[in-house]
Chains A and B, each alone.
Chain A
Amino acid sequence: MIGLEQVRNRLKILEARTAPLKAEIDQLALVAEPDAQQIARFNELAAGLQVMQGRYLECEAWIEMLEKYPGVSRPDQLPTKGNTPAYVPVTEKAPAEQVERNREASHQRDARELVELLPAAGAE
């Protein structure tokens, strides 16, 4: 199981790794007339930072989820009606007209997608 502390540590590591790259790219951005090597390095750093930004967002999503649903490790955290929302099953059926309308719309959408996939008649 992935723990909250592990993800937070990963986030710290990512921040530590990103800082020097950011400093370097900021320096390169200040160069008035960069040579080919500097441009290549700038592009490389920009791509790398983009990837790291994705990982950063991923870590934040993990932290959000783990904070929202903490593990049950103690008896006082056991689910009760108070702390856990009740699941209400959908028992009412949708009206027949709506079902028919939805089905028709679905068929039309499928047909349109199929038409788009097919090659145009006479097209070279």
Chain B
Amino acid sequence: MADAAVLERAKRYIFAGRNYERIDLRGYDLRGVNFTCSNFRGADLSGSDLRGALFIGADLSRACLQGCDAAGADFSGADLTGAYLRGLNLTEAVCWHTCFKGALCKQVKFHGADLTGADIARAEMLGARFDGAIVTGLRNVDRAIFRWFLSPLGGKPSYDPFPGAVVLTGSLTGDESFRENAGLINGLGYS
């Protein structure tokens, strides 16, 4: 009970401009907390509840947000370069000019999210869905990965279609973390 009271009080504080580099915040309830301009480089927030949290201008590069619920959160101007976002729920989230460069966004739900001016260059978007998302000015759409094309004979997945390929539009392992291309590499005798 005391913890809940502390948490409720903590939500009223502003954790802006703080340094949380490589912090372990797995499974925490961080609803509505203000982390504006904070540094979360390499932090682990997997499984946390981030609904309505503010990450405006925050640095989340190489952070892990696997399975987080960030519905309605604000990531405007945040840097998510190389972040691990598998299964992240960004429904109705605000992502103005957010940088998703090289981020792993498998199975991310961008339903109704505002992605105005966001950059998704080299982002792995296998299984990501954008129903009702505002995508005006979304940058580098042609450089993101939305499908995998697998050869029936084995080998590494291709991101471009080729005859006889098996197409994959979603992650086979869903929200679970797993190296999907494991065993598909030629020369190791697994394929």
Enumerate chain A interface residues (CB-CB to B < 8 A).
Answer: 1-2, 58, 61-62, 64-66, 68-69, 71-82, 84-87, 89
Contact indicator A84/B129 (Cβ below 8 Å): yes
Q: Tell me which residues across on chain B come within 8 A of A64, comparing CB atoms.
A: 163
Contact indicator B130/A72 (Cβ below 8 Å): no
Q: Tell me which residues across on chain A come within 8 A of B8, comparing CB atoms.
A: none
* Interface residue SS majority, chain B: loop
Question: Would you mind naming 16 contact pairs between A and B with Cβ atoms under 8 Å apart?
Answer: A2-B160, A64-B163, A65-B165, A68-B161, A69-B167, A71-B142, A71-B160, A72-B146, A75-B141, A78-B141, A79-B128, A79-B130, A81-B129, A84-B169, A85-B169, A87-B168
Q: Tell me which residues across on chain B come within 8 A of A87, comparing CB atoms.
A: 127, 168-172
Q: Tell me which residues across on chain B come within 8 A of A75, comparing CB atoms.
A: 135-136, 138, 141
CB neighbors of A among B97-152 (8 A): 125, 127-131, 133, 135-136, 138, 141-142, 144, 146-147, 149
Which of A65, A74, A82, A85 is in CB contact (< 8 Å) with B163?
A65
Give the interface size bracket for B toward A: 20 to 34
Question: A73-B142, A79-B125 given. 10 additional CB < 8 A pairs?
Answer: A58-B163, A62-B163, A65-B162, A68-B161, A75-B135, A76-B135, A78-B141, A84-B129, A85-B169, A87-B170
Q: Tell me which residues across on chain A come within 8 A of B171, comparing CB atoms.
A: 87
Q: Tell me which residues across on chain A come within 8 A of B125, comparing CB atoms.
A: 79
Closest chain B residue to A80 by CB distance?
Answer: B131
Q: Tell me which residues across on chain B come within 8 A of A85, comparing CB atoms.
A: 169
* Contact status of A89 and B141, CB under 8 A, knowing A75-B136, A76-B135, A80-B130: no
Contact indicator B141/A74 (Cβ below 8 Å): yes
* Bound CA–CA A72/B125 (angstroms): 11
